[in-house]
Amino acid sequence: MTTILQVGSGDLRREILNVNKLNISFTDPRPVPPVITGQIEPTAECVVITAPVDGAVSVAEVAAKLTEQYTHVFVVAAPEQVDVGAVLSTAAEYIPLVADLDTNRLLATRFSLATDAATDIDRTASWRTSMSWLSYLFQTVPQSDLSFPEILSLTLTLTIGQLGYPYGYATTLSNDAAEFRATVGGHDGLRATDSIPLADSCAQQALDHGDAVAVADVADDDRVADCYETRALGMESFVAAPILYDSDPIGTICLVDDDTRRPDIMPRHTTPVETVAHWLGSVYTRLQIREDLQRQVSRLEDFSQIVSHDLQNPLNVLQGRLRILHDELGIDNQHMDYARESADRMEEIIDNTLTFAQEGGTVSDREAVAIPGLIDDCERVVDTNAAEIITVDRFRVHGDRTRLTHIFENLFRNAIEHSDATPDDPVTIRIGLNNVMPTTTRGTPTGSFSFYVEDDGPGIPPDQREQVFDVGESNRSDGTGFGLAIVHEVAEAHDWEIDVTESFSGGARFEFTGVT
C-alpha cells in the first residue's frame, strides 16, 4: 500500500480513488507550515503539493524543502499558478492541471509506479523519473506557430523517448486509410509508404476499442499478428490511441517496439498515451477554430474592399451628379431631395459597414485615455445640440483612443435619435463609474472596474435587450442597425463585457465591466 501525503489546498482523495481502485491511500490534507518545519514526520512514501499553498512561501520553495525529506514529491497545479521553471529545477515532479487533460488518471497511474521496484518499471524508468516533458508540451505548443504535423512530430519524439519505444507514428484518417502525418525512429518501413489501409494497421484496434490499447506480444493477438506494422517494422508490441475531434476519431498515435514487453506493465502505458492523444485532439480543435477565424477575417477584408471601392465609387459619382444638377442647372424639387437623402443614407450605411468590419480583433496597443477629453472629441463629431451630456466621474481607461470614440459617438447618437430630442427638450446623457461611494474625489479606480453610459429617453424594453447589439437591429425606419453593434464590437475588442439595463429615470443604461 502506497501512502500519499497531500500538502496544500483541496482534497485529492475522493477524486483519485474514484478513478482507479489502486493500492494507494491518502493521509488527511495538511497545511504547509508544519510540514516544512518538520512538525509532521515523513510517514508517507509520496507527497503531493497542490496549489495554491498557504503561508509566505512559494510552491517551488515548498517542493525544494520536501524533496529533502521525501523520496517522491509531486506538484499538481495549473501552469498559471506556479513558476514551472522553478518547480522543475527542484527534485519534484510537475504534473500540470490543464483543460482536457485527465490529471486524475495520470496521478493514479503515477502513484502506483512510485514505489514499485526498479525491475518492475521496465522501460518506463524515464516516465517514472520525470514528467516535465508533458509540462514542456503544454507550455510550449499553445505559444508556438507550429503546424499540426509539426506538433505531432514534437509530441511523438518526446513520448517515445519518455516511454522507451524505438518507433512511433501519428496518422490522420482518410476514408479507409491511415495517412502518416508524422513518423519518428527512422525505420525504413515508415518511409516506404504515405498511407496504409486501416484494416491492415494496429491503429484499427484503437479505433475499435474507442480509447488506448496496448499489446505486449503481437504473436498472441490474431488481430495484429500479420498487420502492416508487424510485417514492415518487425513489431512485437505496441500501444495506440485515437485522436478525437468533436468526439469523432480523426487519427491515431501509435508507439511501436520490435521487442515484446511484460504484460503486467503494458496497461500502464495506456494512460499517458491516451492522455497525449486526447490533448492532441484539443490542440487540433483549437487550430481548426483559429483557421476558421482566419478565413472569416480574410472574407471580411475582401468584403471591406468591395464596400469601400465597388460601392463607394459609384456613390461618389451619384452625389457629384446631384450637386451638378442642383448647383449648375438649378434643379431643386422634391425628387432631388429624395435622391440626395437616399444617397446620404447609402453613404451612412457604407461608412457604418466599414467601421463595423474594422472593429474586429483584440486591441493590443493600449494607452491611458481620459474619458472627459474623449467625450469632448465626440461632441465635436456628433450633433449633440439636442443632448445634455454630463460627466459624473472623471476617470481614465486603457484602450485604443480612436476605437473608443466609436463607443461614445454611437451611444450619443442612439440616445438622441431614439428619444426624439430637440434643443428645447434635450435628452440627458450621463457617464460615470459603477459601484463607487459618493465623494468629491471620484477618480479612476485601481484594477478592473465598471462604468456606465445612461440616458433619460424611452429606454429599451426587456424583451429586446438581447437583440439590440445584433447587426441590422433597429426600431427606426431610417436606422442602419449598426450603431450598437459597433459599440459591442469595440467593447469585445477591449476584452470588456457590456450589458444593457434601465436607468433610474427609465431610459437606457449601458454598463461596461472588466475595464482597466
pLDDT of 474 higher than 70: no
pLDDT tens, residue by residue, 325-352: 888 878 888 888 878 777 776 776 677 6
| pTM listed for this prediction | 0.47
How far apart are alpha carbons 96 and 133 in whole angstroms?
Answer: 11
CA distances from 347 to 4, 217, 340, 353 (A): 71, 74, 11, 10
CATH of domain 1-140: 3.40.50.2300
Q: 10 Å Cβ neighbour count for 182?
A: 22
Query: Is the fold of 1-140 the same as that of 367-515?
Result: no
Q: What is the predicted pLDDT for the residue at 394?
A: 92
pLDDT at 8: 78
Q: Which of 190, 140, 201, 137 is nearest to 167 (CA)?
A: 190
Peptide bond preceding 272: is omega within 30 degrees of 0, i.e. cis?
no
Q: 290-358, which class in CATH?
A: mainly alpha
* pLDDT tens figures, 477-494: 455 567 888 888 889 889
Query: In whole angstroms, what is the distance from residue 138 CA to residue 279 CA?
Result: 9
What pLDDT, in 10s, does the model give residues 120-177?
334 444 444 445 666 667 766 766 677 888 888 878 887 887 777 888 889 888 888 8
Render the burial of 352-391: b for 16+ CB within 10 Å, e for the rest: bbbbbbebeeebeeeeebebeebbeebbeebebebbebee
Domain borders along the chain are 1-140, 290-358, 367-515
Q: What percent of the chain has pLDDT over 70?
A: 74
> In this predicted model, which residue has the larger pLDDT, 78 or 65?
65
- Average pLDDT of 174-192? 80
Per 3-state DSSP, what percentage of the chain is helix, strand, and coil (rounded to 5)? Answer: 45, 20, 35
Give the span between the Cα atoms of 53 and 157, in whole angstroms: 34
Q: How far is CA 444 from CA 373, 399, 437, 516, in A?
A: 14, 14, 13, 9
Convert the pLDDT of each residue in 226-273 to its tens digit. Answer: 898 888 888 999 999 999 887 888 899 999 998 998 888 787 788 888
- What span, in angstroms and rounded, lies between the C-alpha atoms of 79 and 147? 23
pLDDT at 418 over 50: yes
pLDDT tier, 110 (very low <50, low <70, confident <90, very high otherwise): low
pLDDT at 499 over 50: yes
Strands 24-26 and 2-8: parallel
CA distance 155 to 141: 10
Structurally, at CATH architecture level, domain 367-515 sits in: 2-Layer Sandwich (3.30)
CA distances 152 to 120, 131, 172, 277, Å, are 30, 18, 11, 10
User: Can you tell me the distance from the alpha carbon of 427 to that of 418, in angstroms, rounded to the nearest whole number?
Assistant: 10
At residue 514 the predicted structure's pLDDT band, cuts being 50, 70 and 90, is: very high
- pLDDT above 90: percentage of residues in the chain: 18
